[in-house]
Amino acid sequence: MAARTSRRLRVVIMCPPGVLLAAVVPSYEAVLVLRAAFEQFARVEAPELDSPTYAELAAGVAGDGELLALAAQRQDGQPAPNMLFGAVQYLLLRGVEHPLAAHYPILSGAEPPPEPAFPLFRAFCLEHREAVGELIVTRRTQTQVVRRCTCLLPVFGQVFREAETPLALIDVGASAGLNLNFDRYAYRYRRAGDEILRWERDVAGVELEADLRGPGTPPPPPPEIPVASRDGIDLNPIDLGDADELLWLRALIWPEHMERHAQLVDAAAELKDSPVRLHRGDASRDLPHLLERVPAEAALVVYSTIALYQIPREGRRRITAALEARSRERPVWQVALEGVHPPSLTLTRYRDGAGEAELLARASPHGWWIEWRNPQARRRRVRRRT
């Protein structure tokens, strides 16, 4: 049997007149894969991102055949734990009343009670099996982490100092485009609790913080970083003018991350006052058109935060080739917060068809902390002149 069909068996059941429901009976192999995914989530992902609630729930789901079957309905390539937890939180955020809500600080506004949450979670899933399943079948995971701007701000400041002209920003994998408004947010950088660097905004409803690890400190950004244009490209751009899209995006944030919920809602409100241009497209194919359209006199900055890993290697090569080609006409700066364990923050300067990358920092995937390298960090030639 082909790998694709062995993942699960789809059984179509006829239920009340005219209604078709697709129930999924996962194969034995699929159950093992799912169980491993939930175990991994419980052991590594949830503790790493500080979610004791999801760690407990994931451990419970890993041993529960009915809930594994529910999660198995996700679309190919979608992470089952995030989809199951997102679907449940979406329904709770939409107002479904259930005692489970007491375990979600974002809903209860309080510390979770000491009793285990899993029995209530299981009961919720089974009572709302159809609604949960419908969301898992039809939706996809997508994130927008505004706090990653703590990494972008000092680099954009550095580029502005070098270029001495307003920035033309292109966000690759922009999601809802919120990070294109980096200059509408206020920033604080702390080391061991002491404030080391601050960037204030008059209008800012969003305040972002990062801890500095190690001895390095990012160069203080200039008081103003003018922006000439803001474009984002995404396979699936999110329209935060649509309340349901905002709700789904919130549902994918973990229930203890109250600050992330607030930052998302506040940054979405900023977007109304400072709209950005979001383009639907595959960056590995469509970036060259965007590169041609940005203002000629501006400093062209192409950046990505935790997005390139979703683009196959050949596509990433095409992006690099597009930047190299464009740099024959004008300088291009590429800023990337990419990679894992932990991600790297790099600035690559492309001139005359070649790029030179500088590793600036290591940082947490959500911008919670930054370990800035000293200024003598070695530059690395990434591509020879072609």
Interface contacts to ligand SAM, rule CB under 6 A: 142-145, 148, 173, 175, 179, 233-236, 282-284, 305-307, 310-311, 315
Nearer to ligand SAM, 30 or 51 (CB): 51
- Measured from the CB of residue 13, what is the shortest distance to ligand SAM in angstroms? 33
Nearer to ligand SAM, 175 or 263 (CB): 175
Nearer to ligand SAM, 69 or 370 (CB): 370
Which residue is at the shortest CB distance from ligand SAM?
Answer: 173
Paired residues of 189 in beta bridges: 197, 210
- What lies within 8 Å, CB to CB, of 296 at 6+ separation is 330
Phi-psi region of 216 (alpha: psi -120 to 50; beta: other; left: phi over 0): beta
CA quadruple 269, 263, 207, 232: dihedral positive or negative?
Answer: negative
Place of tokens 């900055």: 301
- Measured from the CB of residue 170, what is the shortest distance to ligand SAM in angstroms? 11
- Measured from the CB of residue 78, what is the shortest distance to ligand SAM in angstroms? 12
- Measured from the CB of residue 50, what is the shortest distance to ligand SAM in angstroms? 18
List alpha helices for the chain, DSSP H. 3-6, 28-40, 46-48, 52-62, 65-71, 80-93, 105-108, 118-127, 129-138, 149-163, 243-251, 258-273, 283-293, 313-326
Q: How far from 368 is each of 211, 286, 292, CA to CA, in Å?
A: 6, 32, 34
Nearer to ligand SAM, 233 or 345 (CB): 233
Nearer to ligand SAM, 308 or 332 (CB): 308
Contact present, 298 and 167 (Cβ < 8 Å): yes
- Measured from the CB of residue 372, what is the shortest distance to ligand SAM in angstroms? 19
Nearer to ligand SAM, 256 or 338 (CB): 338
Tokens of 41: 């989530």
Nearer to ligand SAM, 151 or 227 (CB): 151
* Cα–Cα distance, 12 to 33 (Å, whole number): 23
Q: How far from 146 is each of 23, 134, 231, CA to CA, in Å?
A: 37, 28, 16
Nearer to ligand SAM, 53 or 179 (CB): 179
- Measured from the CB of residue 265, what is the shortest distance to ligand SAM in angstroms? 15
Give 3-state DSSP helix, strand, coil % of the chain, rounded to 5.
Answer: 40, 25, 35
Q: For strand 344-351 and strand 354-363, is the pairing parallel, antiparallel, or unpaired?
A: antiparallel
Place of tokens 């997508």: 142
- Measured from the CB of residue 305, what is the shortest distance to ligand SAM in angstroms? 4
- Measured from the CB of residue 141, what is the shortest distance to ligand SAM in angstroms? 8
- Measured from the CB of residue 177, what is the shortest distance to ligand SAM in angstroms? 9
Give the count of alpha carbons within 13 A of 130, CB side only.
5
Rg from Cα positions in the chain:
22
Paired residues of 190 in beta bridges: 195, 211
- What lies within 8 Å, CB to CB, of 240 at 6+ separation is 176, 178, 246, 249, 268, 271
Tokens of 188: 């604080």
Nearer to ligand SAM, 60 or 367 (CB): 367
Nearer to ligand SAM, 60 or 365 (CB): 365
- Measured from the CB of residue 302, what is the shortest distance to ligand SAM in angstroms? 12
